[in-house]
Structure 1
Amino acid sequence: MLSALTQSLGRLSLRTASPASSNIGASTSSNLSLFRTGNASSSWPQQQMRFKSQLAPRRTKYRKAHKGRVPLAIGGSLKGTTLNDGMYGIRLLEPARLSAKQLQSAETALKRKLKAIKGAQVFLRVFPDIPVCVKGNETRMGKGKGSFEFWACRATIGKVIFEIGGPVEIRPEIAKEALKLAAVKLPVKSEFITRESAPRLGQIVEQTIPPGSAVGHGGSGVVTSA
């Protein structure tokens, strides 16, 4: 009789203890998963994170980069000197290193001016993906590279920076006024171009001579002018 009672009590204790043990196992596994995700998110450096309102790459291969120089197009390539998506744009007349803050302020001024035109689009042809590091003033040589300061991009002479266009028609005077507001925010000189503008190679602009024109050598073709 006593043995039968002890067996029945043992069965009841096992049945009541099994769900509790499963809950404990589930809670421990969830805690471990939270711990792993927390470690994974904290391993990324904070300066590589891009916020919603900032121009910055989502991630880079290296945390810091060399300063470098703005390249000079001497190979004859005309890539990036004409419009691709818009009807009007601005392109640089000097080489420059443009920061993300400068590009964002220029884009904001451009969009504010074109806000009244429904359907107008703004195209940014460059993107700041180079990390610029700065050391403090009167700092001794050595001790490694400086800390991260801002994102920037290198733009050569003749590089198109902004384009405006879209499914709607924008009048040339409005486009010129809007792009002038954006050009003021840039640290270098720029020029207003359209679809008919010739490509540029450094300080040289290619111009097409119409057939039978008296300009040039009397024939049709392409000439360059500084």
Structure 2
Amino acid sequence: MLSFARSVLSSCRAQTPLRRSQAIAPSNPFLGLNFARFRSQLAPMRIKYIRRHKGVIPVPIGGSIKGTTLAFGEWGIRIKGNGMRLTAKQLLAAEDVLKRKLKAIKGAKVYMRVFPDIPVCVKGNETRMGKGKGTFEYWATRVPTGRVLFELGGVPIRKEVAKDALRQACDKLPTQMEVIDRSSPPRLGNLLIYPETPAAPVDAIQTS
């Protein structure tokens, strides 16, 4: 009888709900925030430090044109104005517009070439100096001038439909954008890099 009572007591203890501190503890040891990442959110799966320096917009001073041309689709948009920091909410708004416009085209895909993985911390207005950096506010990414943000592909898309969808997506972004295709030249800051034409041989010039 005593052993049966002990077994019942142990089973009741096993079914006891966890304390509040145990229920909200983060499962990821590298993530210092108590929140869940849902499928519809743009956020990294894990990070090591939630508070990071503000940083600066990258500038291709070495002459690199990487990321300024299309790689997956036939149409796309890239930054024509000043480079800036784009938030995850802005990127999601532009992506939703593109998916809604291309929903009727079977097999059409939207490719996002950037990802918001930089945490932005904000302190309240009229707050005294000191006492830490501030709390986490949102995710963002730094994009320079000329970087491709979105591409449309998967299946052939009419020029009018693609340009109209990309134009509406540009309205959701806080900087000046341009629509490009496969034939568009790469961009280095505010300059367009055209391929050099081979020079004619000297013998051909003399004979002509």
Shared fold by TM > 0.5? Answer: yes
Partner of 1:119: 107
- Counterparts of 1:187-226 in structure 2, within 5 Å, are 187-209=174-196
Does the Cα contact within 8 Å between 1:49 and 1:58 map onto a contact in 2?
Answer: no
- Return the alpha-carbon distance in structure 2 between the equivalents of residues 30 and 76 of structure 1: 63
- SS of aligned partner of 1:103: helix
- Return the alpha-carbon distance in structure 2 between the equivalents of residues 75 and 19 of structure 1: 77
Kindly state the Cα deviation for residue 184 of structure 1 after the two structures are TM-superposed: 0.8
TM value normalised by structure 2: 0.82
TM value normalised by structure 1: 0.76
* Residue 161 of structure 2 is aligned to residue 161 of structure 1: no
Root-mean-square deviation (CA, aligned residues, Å) is 2.4
1:138 is aligned, of 126, 129, 132, to: 126
Q: Which has the higher contact order (CA 8 A, sep 6+)?
A: 2
- Return the alpha-carbon distance in structure 2 between the equivalents of residues 28 and 57 of structure 1: 37
Kindly state the Cα deviation for residue 182 of structure 1 after the two structures are TM-superposed: 0.5
Letter of the structure 2 residue corresponding to residue 188 of structure 1: T
Kindly state the Cα deviation for residue 77 of structure 1 after the two structures are TM-superposed: 1.5
Partner of 1:54: 41
Letter of the structure 2 residue corresponding to residue 60 of structure 1: I
- SS of aligned partner of 1:164: strand
Partner of 1:4: none
Partner of 1:13: none
% identical equivalent positions: 55
Larger displacement relative to structure 2 (198-207 or 153-162): 198-207
- Return the alpha-carbon distance in structure 2 between the equivalents of residues 123 and 138 of structure 1: 41
Letter of the structure 1 residue corresponding to residue 77 of structure 2: I
* Residue 68 of structure 2 is aligned to residue 81 of structure 1: yes
- Return the alpha-carbon distance in structure 1 between the equivalents of residues 186 and 166 of structure 2: 19
- SS of aligned partner of 1:207: coil
- Return the alpha-carbon distance in structure 1 between the equivalents of residues 58 and 105 of structure 2: 37
Partner of 2:166: 179
Distance 1:41 1:134, change over 3 A: closer
Structure 1 unaligned residues grouped into runs of 5+: 1-15, 212-217, 221-226
Partner of 1:10: none
Greater fraction of residues in helix = 1
* Residue 29 of structure 2 is aligned to residue 42 of structure 1: no
Does the Cα contact within 8 Å between 1:73 and 1:202 map onto a contact in 2?
Answer: yes
Q: Map Cα deviations across residues 179-221 of structure 1 (whole Å, 9 max, x no partner).
A: 011011100011111111111111121112556xxxxxx659x
Kindly state the Cα deviation for residue 65 of structure 1 after the two structures are TM-superposed: 1.0
Kindly state the Cα deviation for residue 27 of structure 1 after the two structures are TM-superposed: 5.2
- SS of aligned partner of 2:160: helix
1:71 is aligned, of 51, 58, 64, to: 58
Q: Map Cα deviations across residues 55-110 of structure 1 (whole Å, 9 max, x no partner).
A: 11222111111111111111121111111111100000120100011101111111
Kindly state the Cα deviation for residue 35 of structure 1 after the two structures are TM-superposed: 4.5
Does the Cα contact within 8 Å between 1:199 and 1:206 map onto a contact in 2?
Answer: yes
Structure 2 unaligned residues grouped into runs of 5+: 27-31, 202-208
Larger Rg over CA atoms: 1
Letter of the structure 2 residue corresponding to residue 135 of structure 1: K
